[in-house]
Amino acid sequence: MKIEADEGLIFRLSVYDGPLDLLLALIKKNKVNIYDIPIILILEQYLDFMATMNEQNFEWSSEFIVMAAELIYIKSRMLLPQDENEPDPREELMQALIAYSKIKETASFLFNRHERYFNRFSAPAQMPVIVTEIPLYDANELVFSMKNMRLALKDAMEKKRR
């Protein structure tokens, strides 16, 4: 199902957001370890889902076709004899799925947090009013104290010179 906005934006409301989302769902459905993906099992289910897709958006559908081609390529590389130094053909796909899974979890966390706090506003913090009383001194006492301080400083300087 698609909803089109006035400015030409298309919002997709479907079960899967893209090929990685479908692939991740199939892995979870089959309770498979992401590091040990049985490519043929996942590929069969992936192609079955694609056969049921009734999408007119060719760009979006092409993403699924590219992923199916990638799965077929990985399966064909796994059937060929491998050199010891050659990396596992599934490695790149595993890394992409792990990264996608983390992003999806983070997005879900942020969405839930947004939903929870959307209409909540905190009151501004009230700054405590600190009232301090400044003691009053006689101006003559202050002048007398300044003179005494100046004399003490002068005496200290003279002792240092000697």
For the stretch 70-110, pLDDT in tens is: 888 888 888 888 788 888 888 888 888 889 889 989 988 99
For the stretch 117-150, pLDDT in tens is: 888 877 788 888 888 888 788 888 889 999 999 9
**Residue 57: what pLDDT?**
62
**Residue 106: what pLDDT?**
92
Single out the residue of 116, 103, 139 nearest to residue 18, CA to CA.
103
Which residue do the tokens 């050199």 mark?
83
Q: Which own/partner pairs from 19-23 qualify as long-range (CB within 8 Å, at least 24 positions apart)?
A: 19/63, 19/64, 19/66, 19/67, 19/68, 20/67, 20/96, 20/97, 20/100, 21/100, 21/104, 22/46, 22/49, 22/64, 22/67, 23/67, 23/97
Predicted model pTM:
0.53
Which residue do the tokens 């989302």 mark?
21
For the stretch 22-81, pLDDT in tens is: 778 888 887 877 777 777 777 788 778 777 776 666 676 787 788 888 888 888 888 888
**Residue 56: what pLDDT?**
62
